[in-house]
Amino acid sequence: MTTTELKQAFAQAYSHEAEHVFFSPGRVNLIGEHTDYNGGYVFPCALSFGTYLLMARNADKVLRFRSLNMPEVTELQLDTLTTPLPKNHWVNYPLGCIAQFVKRGHAVTQGYDMLIWGNVPAGAGLSSSAALEVVTAYAFNELLGTGYDRTELAKIGQLSEHEFAGVNCGIMDQFASAWGKKDHAIFLNCDTLEFQHVPVKLDGIKVVISNTHSPHKLDSGAYNDRVAQCHLALEQLRTVRPDLKNLAELTEAEFEKIESAITDEVAHRRARHVVGEVQRTTDAVKALKAGDIVTFGKLMCQSHVSLRDDYEVTGLHLDTLAQEAWKIDGVLGSRMTGGGFGGCTVSLVRDEAIEEFKEKVGRAYEQITGIHPDFYVAQISDGAREL
């Protein structure tokens, strides 16, 4: 939908005009998966699709949440904004952000009518939830005049996910949605939140996202299980390295010296992935800066193998897309992206091979899974903003 169409939808829903239109993008992570909550490096970029939030004041002292993607309308009194709604209610994502402002002493005393629409494919692992959180945080930061920077808005979104959605996510998704920059990816240290925008110059190569249409469910427990398994590995490593703050501090050589302290086999594999993935991400960014896109692509493929074998978050759908992509001559690299358990892969594909990629990968995937995938040639975009 265009901004004009969204404004018309708002007027139709509320019988008055929208006063503000905010936008925040989804993201794709090029490499560095399941490292963020372990204090490691990630390398995401913001996308051109995301979540729109239209707002206007009302005289009723209530917040009204309406989404063109969801059937129900939710109306909340201003004195109830720190109380989560029932589990799995979509309004918990924006509400959790608003609650963070209230908890920090910024009272919401004005009622607002809100209309939300997103064109991030739901369940694709491209951070539709983070886009919704960040657009809400950005909007209320502007309307309440609280003056928080984009890093703080990302933290507000992350806290919403923890406290209202029940997912113990890292900071990457919200950070990318807040800090995105056109034609750049974000090399982010998730421990210190130090980051740099790195130009993504892909001469004759495109970033192609492939949607399994097998939706991932972060709140199904599998994601939180991985967080707990990493924590167990860290606790056991601390018996020999008491100073260890997080898994991502370890080099691969350091890990090999002390990995026997991890007595739980599953936790050991999880930790091995994290340590290796941090090294792969660092190496991949160095390769990109040096113009060595071939090495970058090889590291993407190695990342997928580790996520498949050691972290066990891929499954038939993601593995099929990645493995079929590896067979195409013009594919430099392909891997799952996001939390896993479904969702999307991200691939680097030479321009002349894109049609072959779509045709051959799509046909093989459909034969194996019975599902028709979708492909998006990604545009790397700016972060949250008012339109």
pLDDT digit string, tens, across residues 344-376? 999 999 999 999 999 999 999 999 999 999 999
List the end-to-end C-alpha distance of the chain, in Å, as a whole number.
14
Tally of CB atoms within 10 A around 219: 14
Pair (214, 305) in one structural domain: yes
Residues composing the chain: 387
Same domain assignment for residues 299 and 232: yes
Residues 223 and 134 in one domain: no
- 94 & 165 share domain: yes
**Span 28-52, mean pLDDT?**
95
Per-residue pLDDT tens over the stretch 80-119: 999 999 998 999 999 999 999 999 999 999 999 999 999 9
Q: What's the pLDDT tens digit per position in 153-200? A: 999 999 999 999 988 888 999 999 999 999 999 999 999 999 999 999
Average pLDDT, the chain: 95
* Same domain for 279 and 153: no
Q: Which residue in the list 113, 173, 310, 319 is annotated as catalytic?
A: 173
Is 113 annotated as catalytic? no
pLDDT classification of 339: cutoffs 50, 70, 90: confident
Which secondary-structure segment (H or E) carries 376? Answer: strand 374-377
CATH code of residue 335: 3.30.70.890
- Whether residues 63 and 195 fall in one domain: yes
- For residue 36, the enclosing domain spans 3-199
User: What is the spatial distance between Cα 148 and Cα 133, in angstroms, rounded to a whole number?
Assistant: 15
What global pTM score does this model have?
0.91
Q: Is the predicted pLDDT of residue 318 greater than 90, yes or no?
A: yes
Provide the percentage of residues in the chain whose pLDDT is more than 90: 89
pLDDT at residue 247, rounded to an integer: 97
Note whether 303 and 280 are within 8 A (CB). Answer: yes
Question: Mind giving me the DSSP string for 58-91?
Answer: ESSSEEEEEETTSS-EEEEEGGGTTSPPSTT-TT
More confident residue, 88 or 151: 151
Report whether 255 contacts 45 (CB < 8 A).
no
Residues 325 and 267 in one domain: yes
Note the pLDDT of residue 267.
Answer: 98
Q: State whether 176 and 294 are in the same domain.
A: no
Determine the Cα–Cα distance for residues 202 and 333; give it in Å rounded to an integer: 13
In a domain, 353, yes or no: yes
Residue range 196-239, pLDDT digits in tens: 999 998 889 999 999 999 865 554 688 889 999 999 999 999 99
Task: Report pLDDT for 95.
Answer: 98
Q: For residue 220, what pLDDT is reported?
A: 60
Decide: residue 333, CB within 10 A, 0-12 exposed, 13-18 middle, 19+ buried: buried
Q: Is residue 315 part of a domain?
A: yes
Any domain includes 382: no
Which of 199, 230, 260 is the endpoint of a domain?
199
- Asked if 109 and 8 touch (Cβ cutoff 8 Å), the reply is no
Do the domain assignments include residue 291?
Answer: yes
CB-side exposure of 325: number of CA atoms within 13 Å?
A: 34
**Cβ within 8 Å of residue 34, ≥6 positions away:** 226, 273, 274, 277, 307, 311, 313, 339, 340
**Domain shared by 319 and 244, yes or no:** yes
* ∠ CA 103-104-110, rounded to 5°: 75
The pLDDT of residue 166 is: 86
Same-domain check for residues 270 and 172: no
How many structural domains are present in the chain? 2
Residue 25 bridge partners (DSSP): 50
With 70 as the cut, is the pLDDT of residue 58 above it? yes
With respect to residue 383, please indicate whether it lies within any of the assigned structural domains: no
Q: At which of 159, 176, 199 does a domain end? A: 199
- Computed on alpha carbons and rounded to an integer, the radius of gyration of the chain in Å comes to 21
Q: How confident is the model at residue 270 (pLDDT cuts 50, 70, 90)?
A: very high
pLDDT of residue 355: 98
Q: Residue 97 domain-assigned?
A: yes
The reply to whether 165 falls in a domain is yes
Residue 148 domain flag: yes
Percent of the chain with pLDDT over 70: 98
**Distant-in-sequence, close-in-space partners of 56: CB < 8 Å, separation ≥ 6:** 10, 14, 16, 17, 18, 19, 20, 112, 113
Q: What is the CATH number of the domain that holds 135?
A: 3.30.230.10
